[in-house]
Amino acid sequence: MVDNLKKRIFSRDRLPDDIRIILQNQEMRGERLVNYVRSVFSAFSLGMMFVSSEAQAPEALRTFRLVLGAWFAYSVIVWLLLRRRDRYFKWLTYLSITVDISAVCLGMIGGLQNHSGVYEVYRAPTAWLVLAAFNVMAGLRYSVFAGLYSSFLGVLYAAAMLVYVRMRLDVPWVDKAVYLGPGLNIDECVMALVFSATNGVFAAVIAWNSRKLILQAATDSLARERVEQDKDRLAKYFSKDVVDLVLNNPESLAIGGQRMTATVLFADIRNFTQLSTMMQPEEIVELLNRYFSTMVDIVFKNGGTLDKFLGDGLMALFGVPYPIDHPEESAVRTALEMLDALQVMNRELEAKGMLRLDIGVGINAGPVVAGNIGSSQRHEYTVIGDTVNLAARLEALNKETRTQILVSATVHHAVEKIFRTRQLGPLRIRGKPEPVEVFAIMPSDVVPEPTRISLLPPSTTYP
């Protein structure tokens, strides 16, 4: 995990796009802050230079004007580049560090040309503090390499300036503190080089920790956002309890194929094709949306799962992907509540002068193959098998038997003590070589006793 985090901190290419954009925005935010300090400091230094111009040597004054003027102009250019918040310039970080460290060190060179003498160059606290400040501000870019680069550049310039003073200006080495004449104290020079290096490294440490915190915060935030998105998406197909279980235990749903026991419900609006010819397209869509919203709520209320919409029909599952108590009873109760809800809808439709809706429901229970089925581009969790086919055939058989809810013998045996069923006899069903026992359930035959739905651990599946 530590190695993983190190890779993420050092490499932007390995980051997910969302997190990479967040980090880039923070880097540019830090660049704007550094540029604000740069512009204020360079403008202030220009003002101080003009105020104290009489105290400066002409050569030093020319150097200060050139360096500070160019530095301030650069801050204006950066401000123009960063006006748009969506822009990202990685190269700007290293260019700005180069300009800042160069400006400070060239300003020190200007100090060599002043009346006070070269001996103050490695002992002037203000110049080194300014260099340290811009070194440390490299950490605001949230880049470890930027901090190390700033440290390297500071040491390089300080060493180059030391060589320039020693060789070009012929300033001697001394082993004592220098106050009144030209000279380079070895201890002070070494301390200046160490100081230049350490504050840049300190900036890299700041960048490391800041970047780590930003990555962690961004990862957590995106994870929470994705959980909410997953919850919203799953809520369209599963009840709230099942959604929570799927999110807390996602690997349990990530299966390629498994034999399970399921109760399958098909519900379809009868003669909807004929009905749709008498309505406007907008009215059809509005009616279907309301119908499906009502029916899906009932499925979820009874612990079921929406498998799919089939034109003007739907397919629901009970006991899959997570087992529930008495799935057959839940499916039958769902069908009955669908009919009750449809009566309410029909009264409203008749009040508007529209035709009534009528539905047929088929329910079967048995072994199914459950899994994520589809192509590499698109797949969905569903169930297949003879149990599913028979449930669909029972739903279609309602037209011939003039019934509304038909169930198989398996479902009948599971619910006969709760609902009074009527045997229609062995019936020939398409796709079945032998007649099938079919039972009808009428709304008036219901014993209105609520069913308690509870999610159970995964049940035993068929081998």
Question: 380 Cβ partners below 8 Å, 6+ apart?
Answer: 308, 372, 373, 374
- Single-letter amino acid, residue 420: R
What is the C-alpha separation between 392 and 85, in angstroms, rounded?
57
Measured CA distances, 316 to 128, 290, 320, 333, 391 (Å): 74, 17, 10, 13, 11
What is the C-alpha separation between 405 and 427, in angstroms, rounded?
15
pLDDT (average), residues 105-109: 76
Residue 116 has pLDDT above 60, yes or no: no
Question: 231 Cβ partners below 8 Å, 6+ apart?
Answer: 243, 247
Instruction: Return the higher-pLDDT residue of 376 and 197.
Output: 197
Mean per-residue pLDDT over the chain, rounded: 78
Q: Looking only at Cα atoms, what is the longest distance across the chain?
A: 120
Dump pLDDT digits (tens) for 29-60: 888 888 888 888 888 888 877 777 666 667 77
Dump pLDDT digits (tens) for 120-129: 455 556 677 7
pLDDT of residue 83: 82
- The angle at the Cα of 293, spanning 291 to 296, to the nearest 5 degrees, equals 105
Residue 9 has pLDDT above 60, yes or no: no
Confidence of residue 5 (pLDDT cuts 50, 70, 90): very low
- Compute the CA torsion angle 234, 240, 246, 248 (nearest 10 deg): 130
- Single-letter amino acid, residue 430: R
What is the C-alpha separation between 165 and 153, in angstroms, rounded?
18
pLDDT (average), residues 360-374: 90
- What is the chain's Cα-based Rg? 39
| Residue 345: both structure tokens together | 């809808």
> Which domains are delineated in the chain?
2-231 (no CATH), 254-446 (3.30.70.1230)
Residue 454 has pLDDT above 90, yes or no: no
What is the C-alpha separation between 16 and 223, in angstroms, rounded?
12
Instruction: Return the higher-pLDDT residue of 335 and 92.
Output: 335
Measured CA distances, 459 to 50, 189, 367 (Å): 86, 77, 12
pLDDT of residue 6: 46
pLDDT of residue 450: 39
pLDDT (average), residues 180-203: 69
What is the C-alpha separation between 364 and 316, in angstroms, rounded?
11
| Residue 182: both structure tokens together | 């030209």
Q: Report the predicted TM-score, pTM, of the whole model to 2 decimal places.
A: 0.53
Residue 284 has pLDDT above 70, yes or no: yes
Lowest mean pLDDT among 5-14, 146-155, 170-179: 5-14
pLDDT of residue 376: 65
Q: Where are the alpha helices (DSSP H) in 235-322?
A: 240-248, 272-276, 281-301
pLDDT of residue 253: 55
pLDDT (average), residues 13-21: 66
pLDDT (average), residues 66-87: 84
What is the C-alpha separation between 43 and 53, in angstroms, rounded?
15
Dump pLDDT digits (tens) for 130-174: 777 777 777 777 777 877 888 888 788 777 777 777 666 666 666
The length of the chain, given as a count of residues: 463
Q: What are phi and psi of 105, to 5 degrees?
A: -70, -35
Confidence of residue 314 (pLDDT cuts 50, 70, 90): very high
Nearest to 323 by CA among 244, 262, 264, 248: 262
- Partnered with residue 366 across adjacent β-strands are 262
pLDDT of residue 234: 66
CB atoms within 10 A of CB 234: 18
What is the C-alpha separation between 44 and 130, in angstroms, rounded?
13
| Residue 49: both structure tokens together | 């230079």
Residue 249 has pLDDT above 70, yes or no: no
Helix (H) or strand (E) holding 6: helix 2-10
pLDDT (average), residues 401-405: 93
| Residue 364: both structure tokens together | 């079967």
pLDDT of residue 446: 46
Q: Which residues of 373-407 are buried (b: 16+ CB within 10 A; e: fewer)?
A: eeeeeeeebbbebebbbbbbbbbbbbeeeebbbbb
Spatial contact of 136 and 37, defined as CB atoms under 8 Å apart: no
Instruction: Return the higher-pLDDT residue of 313 and 27.
Output: 313
Confidence of residue 405 (pLDDT cuts 50, 70, 90): very high
Q: Percent of the chain having pLDDT more than 90? A: 25
Token look-up 């359930």 returns 441
Spatial contact of 392 and 364, defined as CB atoms under 8 Å apart: no
Instruction: Return the higher-pLDDT residue of 295 and 452.
Output: 295
pLDDT of residue 88: 75
Q: Percent of the chain having pLDDT more than 70? A: 74
| Residue 224: both structure tokens together | 């929470």
Confidence of residue 242 (pLDDT cuts 50, 70, 90): low
pLDDT of residue 15: 64
